[in-house]
Structure formats: structure tokens, C-alpha cells
Amino acid sequence: MKVSWAMTVMAVDDNPANLKLIGALLEDMVQHVELCDSGHQAVERAKQMPFDLILMDIQMPDMDGIRACELIHQLPHQQQTPVIAVTAHAMAGQKEKLLGAGMSDYLAKPIEEERLHNLLLRYKPGSGISSRVVTPEVNEICGEPECNPRLATGTTPGSRKNRFSARYAANVTRFPA
């Protein structure tokens, strides 16, 4: 799914394998990708340049994703930047907690290409989505079966997970840890 939208996206995750995978996926979809391995690094990078979208792991040592999101949104040029919570904790209450803490949306791990593509499509510049306004429609890409009927019925196109594994293996050297 090679797209390449004119977007600058930052991905933040303390797990090197997760960061490499999301970097490889994003590289095929957007023009510029910044990878950060900590909340502190993400805040510092956000001070230096504006982003169209930030994908933020929630559980990280030293500074968690919620605190990093708060600090990034305090920056004048990042106040409206959508910050998407990326987490393996897909419990119903967790999603609402993250949205209430200032996250714009929620993306469940493991990240799948189609879900990431839909998220980027929704938040790309010119999409009309206001980053800080959370509506039920905005959060329908969470990747849970109740959000996407195709996931519940198993009718997603192709074998995406196998394609991810192959792409990750082929691109692992592009994004050193």
C-alpha cells in the first residue's frame, strides 16, 4: 500500500522492534517520518518542528505518552497537532481515559497496515478533522471488531499480517535502533 501523502509524522515507542515496524509502514505512506524512542525525545523534537500527526506509545519509562502529549500540546505550534495513543491495552475504559487525557484518537497494537492507512487518511491535512475535537466518528478506526465490521467478519483484504512481517524483515536495517 504505497501512498506517500504530504505529511510529517512522528512515531514514538520505547520498543525498538515496534519503532522499526511503524517506521517502515509510515515510510510507504507519508513523505517524512521522525522516530523517537522516548517521551522526552518526542517533546524535544516537537519543539524543533511542526508535525501533522504524532503516534505515541502510552507506556514508556521516564515519561509516559500521556505526559508527553500534554507537554507537546503546550507548544504554540503543536497545540492542534493530533496525538494518537498507540497501545496494546485495548480495554474499553482505557480508550476513554486516553481520549479524556488529550489524545485525539486510539490505535490498538499490533498495528496493521490498513488501520494505519485509515488513520492517516482521516488526519491528513485538508481532511477537515479538527485534531482536538473527539467525535464518535473519529474514533471508529481503533481496530477493534466493534469499530470495523470487516474485522469482525474476517473480510479484511489479503493476508496483511504476513505482508507486515515480510516488510518488517526487509526494512529492519532502514531504521536502526
166 inside domain: yes
Which pLDDT does position 47 carry in this prediction?
A: 98
44 inside domain: yes
pLDDT tens digits, one per residue of 61-96: 999 999 999 999 999 999 999 999 999 876 778 888
Residue 95: φ, ψ to 5°: -60, -50
Which pLDDT does position 1 carry in this prediction?
A: 55
**Which residues make Cβ contacts (< 8 Å) with residue 30, sequence separation at least 6?**
3, 4, 5, 6, 7, 8, 9, 120
Q: Which residue has the cell 482505557?
A: 94
Cα 5-150-91 angle, rounded to 5 deg: 90
**Which residues make Cβ contacts (< 8 Å) with residue 4, sequence separation at least 6?**
28, 29, 30, 31
91 inside domain: yes
140 inside domain: yes
Q: Are 52 and 83 in contact (CB under 8 A)?
A: no
Domains in the chain: how many in total? 1
Q: How many CB atoms lie within 10 A of CB 157?
A: 9
Which pLDDT does position 3 carry in this prediction?
A: 63
pTM greater than the 0.85 cutoff: no
Which pLDDT does position 148 carry in this prediction?
A: 40
pLDDT band, very low/low/confident/very high, at 129 (cuts 50, 70, 90): low
pLDDT band, very low/low/confident/very high, at 128 (cuts 50, 70, 90): low
Range of the domain at 117: 5-171
176 inside domain: no
Q: Are 116 and 29 in contact (CB under 8 A)?
A: yes
pLDDT tens digits, one per residue of 2-55: 667 899 999 999 999 999 999 999 999 999 999 999 999 999 999 999 999 999
Whether the predicted pLDDT of 147 surpasses 60: no
Q: Are 34 and 45 in contact (CB under 8 A)?
A: yes
| Higher pLDDT pick, 175 / 123 | 123
177 inside domain: no
66 inside domain: yes
83 inside domain: yes
Whether the predicted pLDDT of 115 surpasses 80: yes
DSSP 177: -
pLDDT band, very low/low/confident/very high, at 173 (cuts 50, 70, 90): very low
Q: Which of 29-33, 45-49, 117-121, 129-133 has the lowest mean pLDDT?
A: 129-133
Q: Are 107 and 55 in contact (CB under 8 A)?
A: yes
Which pLDDT does position 32 carry in this prediction?
A: 96
Q: Which CATH number do you get for residue 45?
A: 3.40.50.2300
